[in-house]
Amino acid sequence: MQMLGVRKAFSKIKEHITPAQSVSEIKDRLDHIVRRRNQIVHEGDLQRQSRPRSIKRQNVDGGEFKDDIVWLRSLVDAVDEALKTASLKK
């Protein structure tokens, strides 16, 4: 967002995201989602084992994925609002 002229993007997102969250909570949740996505895409969602005897996959919780999707939608909406607000101030 800085390339679009928005400084301190996470502070601006914090103003618009619902439910209300701190900047660190937003960053932590996004980091968790990105790490989980990378496990699925780049590691085949396999469990890491020190001496594997068989392939084991990570446990998948559908509820967690649904919560993440809902949260990502609220993040996108907050980014959109932050960009609209920034463009109105110009």
Give the pLDDT confidence of 18-71 residue by residue, as tens digits: 999 999 999 999 999 999 999 889 888 887 777 878 888 888 888 888 999 999
Tokens of 14: 């914090």
Contact between 14 and 2 under an 8 Å Cβ cutoff? The reply is no
Q: How confident is the model at residue 88 (pLDDT cuts 50, 70, 90)?
A: low
**E strand or H helix at 77:** helix 62-88
Domain spans of the chain, in order of start: 33-47+60-90
What b/e string do you get for 6-26 counting C-beta neighbours within 10 Å, with b at 16 or more? Answer: beebbebbbebbeeebeeeeb
- The pTM for the full model equals 0.80
